[in-house]
């Protein structure tokens, strides 16, 4: 319940959700490999935003932020918001950080938001998928909003597949100081659908819990709670994970087609849960990055959003057996 209350506090009383149409402009990437290239790409772009009266934001690692602030003379108008680049938060809270910045930008002289980002991809290949999906989804979530974003992909810090993904997730590229349309850009729905899913090795083994036809939602929730109690030592994390998977079970019972099945694999460091029904609900891979009905959480539509807030990885998988929601997280 504490997690649900936090989610309501985070999601309520904010500006209306941003538009959800494909974006053709305002989201560019620059692939860099040195401090010189970093300065050449970022400094003129930031200076232009400050001069125009944009709300100008750094959303990058501390070393990059310090370098750019020193280069610009540490202007007081330059704002820091690392969460917009998934630093320390999951995707729904990254989107929320951007929405709050958009609300602040309405009071800027230009009424526009300018964000220099440096996406946090994480150390493991399983984490890259979340960052790639987030970068792609933003093209729909921010379409029509007064925002211009430039994302730095630093080849010195990122694994090669992560750096290479910049061309698929950004409608424009900044190369040699010239910003141009990117012919390799892929529509978010297609790109996200084709992202490879790296499964945990334990998913090849017998699950610690399995049910092929849960009789009722209450039964399934109770059984999942017992499994999590046995495998998740941290109480707050256990409550968070149970709330997220319970919401997915509720969606399967209320909007899917029976039977509803569930599987759990667990170890001392990782847990994976799947919930499957034979329906076609939530086939939009881009769902759940903000509440389905906006800030009025009383209308519902926040189940997948809660799951994305409470689990590290959430995947919607379609196949001959119907729809499977796969949730996974490291244990603390």
For 210-222, how does the pLDDT look when each residue is reduced to its tens digit (9 = 90+)?
A: 999 999 999 999 9
**Tokens 């529509």, located at residue:** 187
For residues 169 and 121, is the Cβ–Cβ distance under 8 A? no
The residue among 331, 224, 324, 215 whose CA lies nearest residue 274 is 324
Residue 321 confidence (pLDDT): 82
Rounded to whole angstroms, the Cα distance separating 216 from 258 reads: 10
Q: Tell whether the model's pLDDT for residue 252 goes beyond 70.
A: yes
Q: Tell whether the model's pLDDT for residue 303 goes beyond 50.
A: yes
Quick one: what percent of the chain has pLDDT higher than 70? 88
Backbone angles phi, psi at 290, to 5 degrees: -150, 160
**Per the confidence metrics, is the pTM higher than 0.85?**
yes
Residue 5 confidence (pLDDT): 45
Residue 314 confidence (pLDDT): 95
The residue among 75, 68, 38 whose CA lies nearest residue 53 is 75
Q: What is the mean pLDDT of residues 264-284?
A: 88
Rounded to whole angstroms, the Cα distance separating 302 from 288 reads: 7
Rounded to whole angstroms, the Cα distance separating 1 from 114 reads: 36
DSSP 146: S
Residue 24 confidence (pLDDT): 34
Give me the torsion for CA of 33, 23, 291, 192, rounded to 10°: -60
Residue 224 confidence (pLDDT): 98
One-character DSSP codes across 44-82: HHHHHHHHHT-EEEEES-HHHHHHHHHHHT--TT-EE-G
2 falls in which pLDDT band (50, 70, 90)? very low
Domains, the chain, in order of start with CATH, read 14-194 (3.40.50), 201-330 (3.30.565.10)
CA distances from 137 to 107, 123, 132, 302 (A): 26, 21, 9, 17
Residue 65 CB-half CA count within 13 A: 16
For residues 150 and 30, is the Cβ–Cβ distance under 8 A? yes
Rounded to whole angstroms, the Cα distance separating 321 from 332 reads: 33
323 falls in which pLDDT band (50, 70, 90)? very high
Q: Tell whether the model's pLDDT for residue 226 goes beyond 60.
A: yes
Quick one: what percent of the chain has pLDDT higher than 90? 81
Residue 294 confidence (pLDDT): 59
Could you report the per-residue pLDDT of 66-116, keeping only the tens digit for each?
A: 999 999 999 999 999 999 999 999 999 999 999 999 999 999 999 999 999
């Amino acid at each position: 319940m504490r997690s649900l209350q936090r989610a309501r506090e985070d999601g309520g009383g904010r500006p209306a959700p941003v538009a959800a149409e494909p974006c053709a402009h305002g989201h560019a990437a620059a692939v860099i490999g040195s401090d010189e290239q970093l300065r050449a790409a970022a400094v003129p772009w930031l200076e232009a935003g400050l001069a125009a009266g944009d709300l100008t934001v750094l959303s990058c690692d501390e070393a990059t932020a310090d370098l750019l602030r020193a280069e610009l003379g540490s202007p007081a108008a330059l704002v820091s918001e690392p969460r917009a680049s998934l630093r320390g938060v999951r995707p729904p809270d990254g989107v929320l950080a951007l929405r709050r910045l958009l609300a602040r930008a309405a009071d800027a002289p230009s009424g526009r938001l300018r964000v220099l980002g440096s996406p946090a991809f994480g150390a493991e290949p399983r984490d890259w998928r979340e960052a790639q999906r987030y970068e792609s989804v933003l093209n729909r979530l921010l379409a029509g909003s007064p925002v211009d974003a430039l994302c730095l992909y630093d080849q010195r810090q990122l694994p090669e597949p992560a750096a290479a993904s910049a061309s698929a997730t950004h409608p424009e590229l900044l190369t040699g100081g010239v910003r141009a349309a990117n012919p390799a850009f892929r529509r978010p729905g297609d790109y996200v659908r084709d992202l490879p899913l790296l499964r945990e090795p334990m998913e090849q083994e017998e699950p610690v819990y399995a049910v092929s036809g849960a009789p009722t939602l209450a039964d399934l929730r109770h059984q999942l709670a017992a499994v999590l109690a046995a495998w998740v030592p941290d109480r707050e994390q256990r409550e968070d994970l149970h709330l997220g998977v319970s919401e997915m079970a509720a969606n399967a019972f209320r909007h899917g087609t029976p039977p509803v099945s569930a599987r759990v694999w667990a170890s001392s460091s990782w847990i994976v849960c799947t919930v499957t029904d034979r329906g076609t609900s939530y086939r939009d891979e881009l769902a759940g990055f903000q509440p389905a009905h906006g800030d009025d959480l009383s209308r519902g539509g926040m189940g997948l959003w809660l799951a994305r807030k409470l689990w590290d990885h959430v995947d919607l998988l379609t196949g001959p057996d119907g729809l499977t929601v796969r949730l996974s997280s490291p244990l603390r």
